[in-house]
Structure 1
Amino acid sequence: MALKLACIPAYNEEKTISEIVKKCLNYVDKVLVCDDGSTDNTAKLAKENGAQVISHKKNQGYGAAIASLFESAQNQNADIMVTIDGDGQHDPDQIPVLMDILTQHNVDVVIGSRFLDNQTSTPRYRKHGIKIITSAANYGTNLPVSDAQSGFRAYSKNAIMSIHPTEQGMAVSTEILLKISNKGLSLAEVPITVSYEGNTSKQHPVPHGIAVLVNTLKYISVKHPILFYGFPGIALVIIGSILGYQFLDAYLNRDLVLLGSLMASIVLFLAGTILCMTSVILFTMATLIRERY
């Protein structure tokens, strides 16, 4: 019999965790809750309502909770794993929608998107931020998703066994997309509804969004090192060389010492050389990893 799991990362979610666990149990065989160092009764209430709880002694981050849930699902040899947030944004009654697409269309990963069919009234600032992050993620992964930051996802057995997240923060969503792309896993999206009642976010959206975008760009830069480091490095080397030529021309032909041009030339040339070397090293490493796996 296929084992279906609902996996919930949770940090101080005592107000919502009981209801989410109970609803999830209507559609899966077991609910796993990763209590990420909560200081309230999240773990206690999750257990009381029928969940198996994985506890972190201290708060490590959303990505760390997702990694623990993946590891547990792998150890239990799960056939289907559905990740769903513990703050009440996602509706557990939509779990069958994701699982049906996963099984009926034989895909490896299904993402519940807030932006398909305009079913969700996402706050404007949040919508724009997510779309910027999604655009960056799409470029880096070549996966045309509409909601790269959605935590409501379903994974097949193949995906569960293939994905091993390492990112501790919210950028784990992008990291997983990158690994889906690298592993050649198939992916689909379905529209979902999301509730923003009660201001469920625990972080200020601006620094939080910037942090996620920076980490997203980090993963993309590793996959496309020539574009992110090589081309800018070549540009800096060329500019540095031009400034160096100007210094030599002024010194040899006009007896002028343009110290500003000399210093700028040295700095830009060295910076460009370092970027070019970085791009070559990362490109070589990425190629070796792809050939190995």
Structure 2
Amino acid sequence: MYGDERVGVVVPAYNEEQFIGDVLREIPEYVDRIYVVDDDSTDDTWTEILAASRDGSADRRYGQTDREPASDGGTDREPASDGPDPTEIPHRSRSDERPTSQRAWSVESMAQNGDSVRAALAERASEIRLRGRVVSIQHRSNQGAGGAIKTGYLAALVDGVDAVATIDGDGQMDPEVLSDLIDPIAEDDIGYTKGNRLLRREYRSEMPTLRLVGNFILTFLTKIASGYWRVMDPQNGYTVISREALESVGVTNLYEDYGYCNELLIRLNVADTRIADVPTDVEYADEESHIRYSSYVPRVSTLLLRGFLWRLKTKYLILDFHPLVFFYLFGAGAVGLGALGGVYTLWRGLAAGSGVGFGGVLSPLLVVAGVAFLLFAMVLDRAENESLVRPQQLGANSARME
């Protein structure tokens, strides 16, 4: 427990046999559940996960509640009766805020359950094991970085924890600063916190130059797409989300590859979720990036454009009305027409050997007017969402732990 908050941590892992064990062992004691997701790794990541999760608790699958096989391969034996049953999951009921308890589920029983969250989790997992506070989940097939986070989120929704963090399995993130990300959720009406490696110069200096430039570009594009204009470092995977915010974004439909964190910000904005940036450091060691930039850049750019249009339609036309959506449309249309007109006029002028006519003057005017419309729309958009972002400057380890 962290104060009155039950905390879960999602740890995605793909070919992280060198780092995953240390990551799991270093997660703070106040964390109630650790959902570590092996994304169909081709190395010994799963073996390392199971080894690191041993804490004296019985090794059993979700749902194996009554009997367990004898270690010598003989007949079944009754599990030890001393201490709490490790297959029971503490659960906070939605209808009654008092903590309750419910049995764990096997993959098979979850698949037969009518609940869409449990069914989605069963569809993705080939095996789920519970050892103490560690829920080890192995994917049926590789789902991507966002897919592993999504699986962990589904398991956290099943458990009903109050705040769910994400910590990568490559050892780059310092678990000791997790409390700094939990504090705004535990103490304020913040629904989502994320690390920010760009707020402080000493943190930026540790980031490779190419990654830093790419991060600044994605920061700018994500500001426009998400409506969170004061957010930086959107690619940071060190996050905490409240249960209410997680329930509002539609976890089963989340994007499942790199770029998931950008889309999540868009969905949170439509749900009017307040978020906070928290300065965090990162350690770059021998880990290997799994991102292929030749496909990543166009895919995430398309994702952001699609998410931007969805946000405008949903937030400013369907759920409410705001004229800024028309300024965006008029601005984009004027810039597009002006650019096409300029190209056409230039081509006609070169073909005919004549000078620039009226069309050559009108096209730049359209572009200027379009840019003015777009800038005005951005100003309105920023003002509309200003109250949804609270940058945080928190001291390290302001613990309220139990």
Q: Normalising by structure 2, what TM-score?
A: 0.55
AA aligned to 2:300 is V
AA aligned to 2:212 is K
Q: In 2, distance between residues paired with 1:222 and 1:97?
A: 32
Residue deviations 1:11-65 (CA, integer Å, cap 9, x gap): 1111111111111142301110111111122222223322311221221211111
Q: Does 1:124 align with 2:209?
A: yes
C-alpha contact 1:61 1:169 (8 A) present in aligned 2: yes
Shift of 1:161: 1.4
Q: Any gaps of 5 or more consecutive residues in structure 1?
A: 247-293
1:170 counterpart residue number: 258
Residue deviations 1:236-287 (CA, integer Å, cap 9, x gap): 88789999xx9xxxxxxxxxxxxxxxxxxxxxxxxxxxxxxxxxxxxxxxxx
Q: Any gaps of 5 or more consecutive residues in structure 2?
A: 54-133, 313-327, 350-402
The change in CA–CA distance for 1:147 and 1:237 in structure 2 (over 3 A counts) is closer
Q: Tell me, what secondary structure is at the counterpart of 1:24? A: coil
1:112 counterpart residue number: 195
* Greater mean deviation of Cα atoms: 103-112 or 145-154: 103-112
Q: Does 1:192 align with 2:277?
A: no
Q: 2:175 aligns with which of 56, 71, 92?
A: 92
C-alpha contact 1:5 1:31 (8 A) present in aligned 2: yes
More helix per residue: 1
1:77 counterpart residue number: 160
C-alpha contact 1:119 1:192 (8 A) present in aligned 2: no
The change in CA–CA distance for 1:162 and 1:124 in structure 2 (over 3 A counts) is same
1:147 counterpart residue number: 233
C-alpha contact 2:167 2:238 (8 A) present in aligned 1: yes
Q: In 1, distance between residues paired with 2:26 and 2:285?
A: 19
Shift of 1:84: 1.0
1:58 counterpart residue number: 141
Shift of 1:163: 2.2
AA aligned to 1:216 is L
Q: Does 1:45 align with 2:48?
A: yes
2:61 counterpart residue number: none
Write out aligned runs for 1:114-263 (5 A): 114-120=197-203, 121-143=206-228, 144-165=230-251, 166-205=254-293, 207-224=295-312, 226=329, 230-231=333-334
C-alpha contact 2:6 2:161 (8 A) present in aligned 1: yes
AA aligned to 1:35 is D
AA aligned to 1:107 is I
Shift of 1:204: 4.5
Q: Normalising by structure 1, what TM-score?
A: 0.75
AA aligned to 1:115 is L
4+ long deviations beyond 6 Å: 236-243
CA RMSD, 1 decimal = 2.8
The change in CA–CA distance for 1:32 and 1:119 in structure 2 (over 3 A counts) is farther
C-alpha contact 1:70 1:164 (8 A) present in aligned 2: no
Q: Tell me, what secondary structure is at the counterpart of 2:38? A: strand
1:269 counterpart residue number: none
Q: Tell me, what secondary structure is at the counterpart of 1:160? A: helix
Q: Tell me, what secondary structure is at the counterpart of 2:257? A: coil
Shift of 1:213: 3.4
The change in CA–CA distance for 1:241 and 1:197 in structure 2 (over 3 A counts) is closer
AA aligned to 1:150 is N
The change in CA–CA distance for 1:159 and 1:82 in structure 2 (over 3 A counts) is same
Percent of aligned positions with the same letter in both sequences?
Answer: 27
1:270 counterpart residue number: none
Residue deviations 1:101-138 (CA, integer Å, cap 9, x gap): 22123311111111112242111110110110111010
AA aligned to 1:114 is R
C-alpha contact 2:270 2:311 (8 A) present in aligned 1: no
C-alpha contact 2:38 2:137 (8 A) present in aligned 1: yes
Residue deviations 1:163-200 (CA, integer Å, cap 9, x gap): 23421211111110001100000000110110111143
The change in CA–CA distance for 1:22 and 1:228 in structure 2 (over 3 A counts) is farther
Shift of 1:73: 1.1
Q: In 1, distance between residues paired with 2:339 and 2:213?
A: 32
Q: In 2, distance between residues paired with 1:231 and 1:37?
A: 48
